[in-house]
Amino acid sequence: MTEPHFFTPAKALTLREIIALTGAVARASEAGGSLDRQITGIAALDQAGPHDLAFIDNTHYVAQLAETRAGACLTSTRFEKQIPATIVALRVGAPYRAFVEVARLLFPEALRPASSFAANGVAAGASVHPQARLEHGVTIDPGAVVGPRAEIGGGTVIGPGAVIGPDVRVGRNCSIGANTTIHHAILGDRIIIHPGSHIGQDGFGYVMGAAGHLKIPQVGRVIIQNDVEIGAGSAIDRGANRDTVIGEGTKIDNLVQVGHNVSIGRHCVIVGQSGISGSVTLEDYVVLGGRVGVNNHVTIGEGAQIGATSSVNGDVPAGGKWGGTPAKPYKQWFREVLAIERLAARGAPDANAGRKGDLDE
């Protein structure tokens, strides 16, 4: 059985081209320092070979510098002198960002999922309703379903087993992953939805009572603006009496729950296993760490950051950095944690103090 390589470089880059792309400054090395050397791959320091580009921006990996065989290494001033003379050191202000810029140019196919079936157009086995409208260049894999009056823009790829419901709009150059379902939704351009995500299903809404729980009709939509990416296994409910909105450029990790009527602003980052309850507003550039829970009707202001595993029960001001359960400003949270640790370190009173005679009996 052969061992496949799933991504091959689109082109080779010389070190000179990498310098032009990133603005890096080369340090002359004792051997192999030609700026015409070609780079065809990227790798971690301990796995890199002579034609790979690596980077260093963390003291945790300094020990690997002595043994690396990388063709070149992006670095900051802090680590430049620790890179062996046999390695071309490329000094740049933000090594990891520069590394990503090069990686994007070498491996553009890794940026957006392609057809799982290497299909071109509508594959045999796909079910496209005759009333659906597809622009030129749409790719639909086997087993996918496109409902009546759905519209899909050119360059979009619909993965196997995906369902695009009636009247759904999907823009241009999108990637809809395998077994994803999209209903009651309007999607912009260049959106990536990874496999197993579900968009536009009922929100969780009931009027509870002794005689039973009365289901609330959910008649809103999901609006997803341009350049949004949604991770595998995430769920975004449609609105109840207004639209659920995901703003331009927002990035949502795997296994995230977004409830009905939620409004998420532009360029937010929501990390895995977070849950956002109904009617929450996240303004632009908000960051939620992993496993954050947000209670309903909460507003988190522009640029605010919420620490991982926090529980947000009230509004967070713009620019706030909050954490804990319930979430509060970081400084207050840290003071309280420290006070509890100090109290524990002193030792709790012995519950059995003064009862020695009883125990002896």
Distance separating alpha carbons of residues 239 and 236, to the nearest angstrom: 9
Scored b (16 or more CB within 10 A) or e, 103-142 reads beebbeeeeebebbbebeebbeebebeeebebeeebbbbb
Q: What is the pLDDT of residue 80?
A: 94
Domain coordinates in residue numbering, the chain: 13-111
Q: Is 194 a catalytic residue?
A: no
Rounded to two decimals, the pTM is: 0.91
Each residue of 86-105: pLDDT tens digit? Answer: 899 999 999 999 999 999 99
pLDDT band of residue 347 (cuts 50, 70, 90) is confident
Average pLDDT over residues 228-236: 98
Each residue of 105-117: pLDDT tens digit? Answer: 999 999 999 999 9
- Helical packing angle, 95-106 and 15-22, nearest 10°: 120
142 in Cβ contact with 126 (< 8 Å): yes
Catalytic residue among 129, 184, 260, 267: 260
Distance separating alpha carbons of residues 207 and 219, to the nearest angstrom: 16
Q: Fold for domain 13-111?
A: 3.40.1390
Mean pLDDT for the chain?
A: 94
Average pLDDT over residues 126-146: 98
For residue 202, what are the contacts with CB-CB under 8 A and spacing of at least 6?
Answer: 218, 237, 238, 260
pLDDT band of residue 5 (cuts 50, 70, 90) is confident
Quote the longest CA-to-CA distance of the chain.
90
